[in-house]
């Protein structure tokens, strides 16, 4: 995960070209934030997500008795912005007021575009599942419980001060994400742009699904609630990468977690976890959930969410020259194929998607 290392005495400029800061700035900033001088400091560039942000872990040497952190994370925005708040800081403050597990923000250097955040561990949920596979069921139970807790608390109190309040998974947004996949996966990545009549055909087949999803009761959604956006910090899971939160159907985040492009779970565990979520929902709302309908929406959200992820992976490869996500395309298309084969029979939607999305049948190589 770690790419490069620098220290206050040996700053490797060439290998640390993404950083807008050096050792002198870092030492001065940490001293200003925590009110104590730094005798030894090091910084590691971390592998980031599919965004334009960069991340660095700063390790600090503390004197005996000091209560300041051993380390912190610097999130570097693509470019500095003039506003004193960003969507990330606004949503972070919103979630922390609800006592949800999120990193503490120590300082935001607006002119530099640098956020100094609490370090919530070196392992994501994905890492933890790899190292301790025997803990899979327990960890996923914990993740589902945290998801439901986040959705419930945030939805109950959200208002116009939170950026997510103004954004929705409405028909326009859901179809935009589908078009994004058609453009970047089918057209650019696979090199088979659809003719106008073919695009019209597949969009007309997909739009009723988006209408169904957009009509569901809205709740606060993280939008990227998966194994790489949950940090393992001791016995707790910590939410990260929530700046794109918006209002949407409750199944959306559950799909993100259980139909994750980076790690798979078997069908029996998936059903157990969906049932856990439903029981939590029934307890909270005091009424029985129609399981058949819940699964119908879950499957629909799975199709939309996984196809959107395929578009994102293709975009990263084509536009950003970042090819590390293309290996996840086949797995993600596998989720789509499984859902279509299980629940959509001989529907027009299944026929149109299999006809127009290369690799969905599992027989074509998905390569750039």
Exposure b/e, 55-75, CB count within 10 A at least 16 = b? bbbbbbeeeeeeeebeebbbb
As to burial, measured by CB atoms within 10 angstroms (0-12 exposed, 13-18 middle, 19+ buried), residue 121 is middle
Query: Residue 64: what pLDDT?
Result: 58
Mean pLDDT by 10 residues, the chain (368 residues): 35 57 90 82 81 88 66 94 94 98 97 96 95 97 98 98 97 98 97 96 98 98 97 96 97 98 97 98 98 98 98 95 93 98 95 97 63
pTM of the model: 0.91
Task: Compute CA 144 distance to the chain's CA centroid, rounded to the nearest angstrom.
Answer: 15
Backbone Cα Rg of the chain: 22
Alpha helix segments (H runs only) across 182-247: 196-214
Query: Residue 69: what pLDDT?
Result: 74
3-state secondary structure of 162: coil
3-state secondary structure of 219: strand
Angle at 338 between CA 270 and CA 312, to 5 degrees: 90
- Contact between 110 and 29 under an 8 Å Cβ cutoff? The reply is no
Q: Beta-carbon neighbour count of residue 180 at 10 Å? A: 17
List own/partner pairs for 131-140 with CB under 8 A and 24 or more apart.
136/265, 136/269, 137/269, 137/272, 139/232, 139/237, 140/257, 140/265, 140/269, 140/273
Q: Name which of 74, 64, 66, 93 is nearest 16 in CA terms.
A: 74
- Crossing angle, helix 329-343 and helix 348-356, to 10 degrees? 150
Q: Name which of 109, 112, 143 is nearest 125 in CA terms.
A: 143
Query: Residue 47: what pLDDT?
Result: 78
Query: Residue 356: what pLDDT?
Result: 97
Tokens 């570097």 belong to 76
Query: Residue 367: what pLDDT?
Result: 53
Q: How far apart, in whole angstroms, are the C-alpha atoms of residue 2 and residue 207?
A: 42
List of domains in the chain: 2-118 (no CATH), 123-356 (3.90.1200.10)
List % helix, strand, coil for the chain (3-state, nearest 5): 50, 15, 35
Query: Residue 15: what pLDDT?
Result: 39
As to burial, measured by CB atoms within 10 angstroms (0-12 exposed, 13-18 middle, 19+ buried), residue 118 is middle
Backbone angles phi, psi at 57, to 5 degrees: -100, 125
Query: Residue 4: what pLDDT?
Result: 34
Q: How far apart, in whole angstroms, are the C-alpha atoms of residue 112 and residue 115?
A: 9
Q: How far apart, in whole angstroms, are the C-alpha atoms of residue 264 and residue 270?
A: 10
Backbone angles phi, psi at 11, to 5 degrees: -95, 110
Q: How far apart, in whole angstroms, are the C-alpha atoms of residue 322 and residue 345?
A: 36
């Amino acid at each position: 995960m770690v790419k490069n290392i620098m220290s206050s005495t040996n700053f490797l400029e060439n290998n640390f070209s993404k950083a807008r800061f050096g050792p002198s700035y870092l030492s001065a900033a940490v001293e200003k934030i925590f009110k104590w001088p730094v005798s030894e400091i090091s910084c590691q560039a971390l592998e980031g997500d599919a965004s334009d942000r960069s991340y660095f872990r700063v390790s600090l040497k503390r004197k005996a008795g000091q209560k300041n952190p051993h380390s912190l994370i610097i999130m570097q925005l693509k470019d500095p912005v003039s506003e004193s708040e960003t969507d990330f800081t606004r949503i972070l403050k919103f979630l922390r007021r609800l006592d949800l597990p999120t990193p503490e923000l120590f300082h935001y250097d607006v002119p530099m575009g640098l956020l100094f955040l609490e370090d919530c561990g070196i392992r994501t949920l994905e890492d933890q599942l790899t190292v301790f596979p025997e803990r899979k069921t327990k960890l996923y139970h914990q993740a589902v419980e945290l998801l439901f807790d986040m959705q419930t608390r945030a939805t109950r109190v959200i208002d116009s001060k939170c950026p997510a309040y103004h954004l929705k998974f409405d028909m326009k947004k859901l179809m935009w994400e589908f078009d994004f996949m058609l453009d970047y996966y089918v057209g650019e990545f696979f090199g088979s742009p659809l003719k106008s009549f073919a695009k019209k055909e597949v969009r007309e087949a997909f739009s009723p699904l988006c209408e169904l999803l957009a009509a569901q009761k809205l709740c606060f959604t993280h939008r990227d609630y998966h194994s790489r956006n949950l940090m393992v910090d001791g016995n707790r899971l910590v939410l990260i990468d929530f700046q794109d939160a918006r209002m949407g159907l409750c199944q959306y985040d559950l799909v993100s977690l259980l139909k994750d492009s980076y790690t798979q779970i078997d069908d029996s565990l998936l059903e157990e976890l969906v049932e856990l979520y439903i029981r939590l929902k029934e307890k909270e709302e005091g009424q029985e959930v129609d399981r058949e309908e819940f699964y119908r929406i879950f499957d629909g959200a799975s199709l939309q969410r996984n196809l959107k992820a395929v578009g994102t992976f293709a975009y990263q490869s084509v536009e950003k020259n970042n090819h590390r996500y293309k290996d996840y395309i086949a797995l993600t298309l596998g989720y789509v194929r499984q859902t279509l084969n299980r629940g959509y029979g001989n529907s027009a939607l299944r026929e149109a998607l299999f006809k127009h999305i290369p690799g969905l049948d599992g027989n074509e190589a998905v390569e750039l």
